[in-house]
Amino acid sequence: MFKSYLHQRWEDGCTNAWKLWEEITDRGYRGGYAAVRDYLRPLRTVPRTPAIRPPSARTVSSWILTHPDALPDEAQLQMKIALAHCPELEAPAGHLIREGVAAGRADDLPGLHGFANGLERDQDTVVAGLSIPWNSGVVEGHVNRIKMFKRQMFGRAGFELLRKRVLLA
């Protein structure tokens, strides 16, 4: 009974012996973890076809924000596959980006409504962020580094040591 369950879960993609042991223990298995680990060891030597990783959110958003004519053929094909698997992306891809913020309110997606409201409220900032070549990335990086120093030194020393560490880094 447990062997068939282990094989089924293994085929489903769960290859963590500890997790599988916990699952069958909840189902009444009384054996130890080592027995499960040893049982699964031969399965690990069988080569598995690697699963195709889905594109990252950043990649998909860059496809949506790029004009379709400017996308390479492979990216256009991958974008069509992504839109087929996640139809909620069709609304921002079709309306909000190409037709404007007002078209985004016509859809029945509350998250898109909030996003459209935020864009309209800060329209000058959005336009400046997309059109001006300067950004505050370097400053944000320094602030992040200083906060890391502060977290590392929490409870150990005062401001003077933090100051020296920031200036000497």
Task: Provide the pLDDT confidence category of residue 22 given band limits of 50, 70 and 90.
Answer: very high
Q: Which pLDDT score, from 0 to 100, does residue 92 have?
A: 67
Residue 61's Cβ-count burial label (10 Å; 0-12, 13-18, 19+) is: middle
The arithmetic mean of pLDDT across residues 55-60, rounded, is 87
Interacting residues of 71 by C-beta distance below 8 A, sequence separation 6+ = 63, 79
pTM for the full model? Answer: 0.41
CB atoms near residue 51 (< 10 Å): 7
* Domain residue limits, the chain: 2-45, 57-131, 137-168
What value does the mean pLDDT of the chain take? Answer: 82
Q: Which pLDDT score, from 0 to 100, does residue 34 have?
A: 92
Q: Which pLDDT score, from 0 to 100, does residue 115 have?
A: 77
CB atoms near residue 117 (< 10 Å): 13
Q: What is the DSSP letter of 56?
A: P
Distances (CA, A) of 83 to 61, 92, 150: 11, 11, 43
- Short-list 47, 2, 4, 7, CA closest to 27: 2
Percent of the chain with pLDDT over 70: 86
Per residue in 60-104, pLDDT (tens digit) is: 888 887 888 888 999 989 988 888 888 777 766 666 555 666 666
